[in-house]
Amino acid sequence: MKNIKFIKSYLKIREEKYVNYKKNFKKNFLKQRVILIKTLSQSLNQIHKKNFRSQDYNYLIGSWLDDLLKLYLTRKFYCKFIKDKIIPEKKLNIIYNNNYSEFISNINDYNFNFNIFSKIKNTKQNTIYKIKKKN
C-alpha cells in the first residue's frame, strides 16, 4: 500500500501530540457544537419548511453530531502535523451512511478515515458547504 508512510506518520504524531490534542479538543468541541446545531437547525427548518428549535434537533441528531464532530476535530488537529501530501491511490467517494450504526462502523474503516484525512488536508479551510435537499 502506497500510503503506509502516511499511516506511520499519523501514528507517530498521534502519540507525540495527544496532550495538545486534548487541550485543543476541550477548547473547541462545545463551541463548534453549538454553532453546528444552530446552523443545521436553520438549514433543516428551511429545507423542510418547519420551525423546530435547535434543542429539538439536538434530541434528534445530537449523538450523531457529537461523533461526527469528534471525528472531524480529531482528524483536523492531526492533519496540521502531517507534512506529506495525502494522495489517494484511487478516486475516493464520500461514503453515505444509511443509519447511525453504519456510521459508527465506518469510523473504524481505513478507507473512510483516509478519505476524511485527504479531504481535510487537500481542501481550503475557508470552504463553505451548503446543505441541499436530496431530490
- pTM, whole model, 2 decimals? 0.70
Q: What is the pLDDT of residue 130?
A: 52
Structural domain count of the chain: 1
Q: What is the pLDDT of residue 125?
A: 53
In this structure, is residue 72 part of a structural domain? yes
In this structure, is residue 129 part of a structural domain? no
In this structure, is residue 71 part of a structural domain? yes
- Give the domain extent around 35: 4-121
In this structure, is residue 107 part of a structural domain? yes
Contacts 24+ apart (CB under 8 A), 113-118: 113/75, 114/3, 114/6, 114/86, 114/88, 115/88, 116/71, 116/72, 116/75, 117/6, 117/10, 117/75, 117/79, 117/82, 117/86, 118/86, 118/87, 118/88, 118/92
Q: What is the pLDDT of residue 88?
A: 59
Give, as one character, the DSSP assignment of residue 89: S
Q: What is the pLDDT of residue 3?
A: 65
Q: What is the pLDDT of residue 133?
A: 53
What is the block-wise mean pLDDT of the chain (135 residues), using blocks of 10 residues?
Answer: 68 85 86 92 94 94 89 84 65 72 82 77 57 53
133: three-class secondary structure by DSSP:
coil
> 94: Cβ–Cβ under 8 A, 6 or more apart, which residues?
115
